[in-house]
Structure 1
């Protein structure tokens, strides 16, 4: 097996993060029409570009913790952008005004628990809790059907469970170098766990940071969680465009990188209404490396299924 550098392993581990089986209960928040936007630190708030509607920040309570959602007003369908592991809403900061101008749609980004302005939740990263958080936010913001979902990396797992558990909520998805069920074979799970063991141990022995806590949370229950995820199928009723990077989160490990690309191709072949797009020359960070490609595919999905 190729040796991962710490930064590469951190990104790879977060990219294929945990779908733990225990589901959290959804807690709807108050009526968005009567709930004023909450002020957040200037560093956390998106900045509107000239000609773009001002972005509003809302704090949504779910299961006792607060989550920051950022809304650029517009019409339906809403476009919801879900950032990759270790990222907050600012991953999409350049795309938001461009999508708003091009589509006129409402644009929603947010910070998952423990990221950005959202509260941290202790324990293993739980995809079902993450789905509950996103669903609670969307419900509180009045988004109940036919949205367009864009998910990068780890958010692919959130997207998969969200569309399965909420028929009619998502009318189309763009999965940007996303973690997909086909990737998590027993052999691949063993390779990821083996590659990460030393760094997880090192992270536990060092002073706690947000990054180390994220990595440790991702590693907990990794094997059982991903064996469960491998059995999950994307619904045939929801069309999806998969954008796969050439380098993948496993750049430097050709075997793992090829398996990541093969998993994307297998996902596309497994159901109707699916399209595979390769981001030639791109790293795993496609939203930053090739934002025009991501925007174009989102606009196509809006036009076809919005």
Structure 2
């Protein structure tokens, strides 16, 4: 991956996102994904499904990323588990229509759950959420008890991180990048960045007040370098938030991705796959 692209993704995350041992798996390789265009709330949303057995494993990428973020991990996961694998493009990204107005993780959660319902995924899914998708996962799980059997939150946005002081720091750090994005709205990534910035303060103050449901097991995979590599204060706050989340309820596990940047699914795909397998084994007991 080009260094400038990786750096841009880390900057996005740092300033605005804060933003499998299967039984009976066939030896034959799984079929490739098929795309389903689903209408919801006046928008067309693209979901990509690799067929397999239940429980479905749903992969949700971080801010500015579409379903292609999982292009290497998804087929490995399908082969290892035999499970149905679902990826999707959040509104405004990939093959999905734009969502007018500021970023709203509750609306994004509604898009995700509506799409899963149309696909027949209504119970006991394993949700894998990276970065900004941690917000979507939280609201989706709170709003639809029973939909999510467990979650792997991969260097994800967690409520504990977004104190008033941290929100203020992020807004200040992100201002130059946001201004540049607003000046060039021609790309989907820039439009999403501007939309996230527009609602960043109220959205994350509200997010700080919510709690992950205690009855839903969660594995928190936190990167060693975090989105804030080079800022010891913010690195510490990110790690402290992950540890606080893990302590706040039963059925939670904290795992550190040693040596990894914020892009844990890219840097340590085997670790992520292994934690998905472990979580699935826990929830299927």
Determine the structure 1 residue equivalent to 2:44: 66
Change (3 A) 1:208 1:66: same
Change (3 A) 1:89 1:8: closer
1:97 CA displacement: 1.6
Question: What CA distance in whole angstroms lies between the structure 1 residues aligned with 2:277 and 2:236?
Answer: 28
1:106 CA displacement: 0.6
Change (3 A) 1:65 1:289: same
User: Unaligned 5+ residue runs, structure 1?
Assistant: 18-49
- Kept in 2: contact 1:13–1:219 (CA 8 A): no
Determine the structure 2 residue equivalent to 1:263: 241
Question: What CA distance in whole angstroms lies between the structure 2 residues aligned with 1:273 and 1:150?
Answer: 16
- Kept in 1: contact 2:33–2:48 (CA 8 A): yes
Question: Which of 211, 216, 227 in structure 2 is aligned with 1:249?
Answer: 227
Please give the TM-score of this superposition, normalised by the length of structure 1: 0.85
Question: What CA distance in whole angstroms lies between the structure 1 residues aligned with 2:263 and 2:9?
Answer: 13
Question: What CA distance in whole angstroms lies between the structure 1 residues aligned with 2:53 and 2:176?
Answer: 49
Please give the TM-score of this superposition, normalised by the length of structure 2: 0.91
Deviations 1:43-76 (A, max 9, x none): xxxxxxx812131110011111111101111111
Does residue 1:76 correspond to 2:78, yes or no? no
- Kept in 2: contact 1:14–1:86 (CA 8 A): no
1:205 CA displacement: 2.7
User: Unaligned 5+ residue runs, structure 2?
Assistant: 1-6, 20-27
Determine the structure 1 residue equivalent to 2:15: 13
Does residue 1:96 correspond to 2:74, yes or no? yes
Question: What CA distance in whole angstroms lies between the structure 2 residues aligned with 1:72 and 1:7?
Answer: 27
Change (3 A) 1:75 1:157: same
Question: Which of 144, 150, 159 in structure 2 is aligned with 1:166?
Answer: 144
Does residue 1:150 correspond to 2:128, yes or no? yes
Question: Which of 179, 191, 214 in structure 2 is aligned with 1:236?
Answer: 214
Give the aligned length: 270
Determine the structure 2 residue equivalent to 1:224: 202
Determine the structure 2 residue equivalent to 1:34: none
1:139 CA displacement: 0.4
Determine the structure 1 residue equivalent to 2:85: 107
Question: Which of 179, 184, 196 in structure 2 is aligned with 1:206?
Answer: 184
Look up the SS of the partner of 1:227 in the other structure.
helix
Question: What CA distance in whole angstroms lies between the structure 2 residues aligned with 1:147 and 1:135?
Answer: 11
5 Å matches for 1:27-46?
Answer: none
- Kept in 2: contact 1:13–1:215 (CA 8 A): no
Question: Which of 176, 183, 196 in structure 1 is aligned with 2:174?
Answer: 196
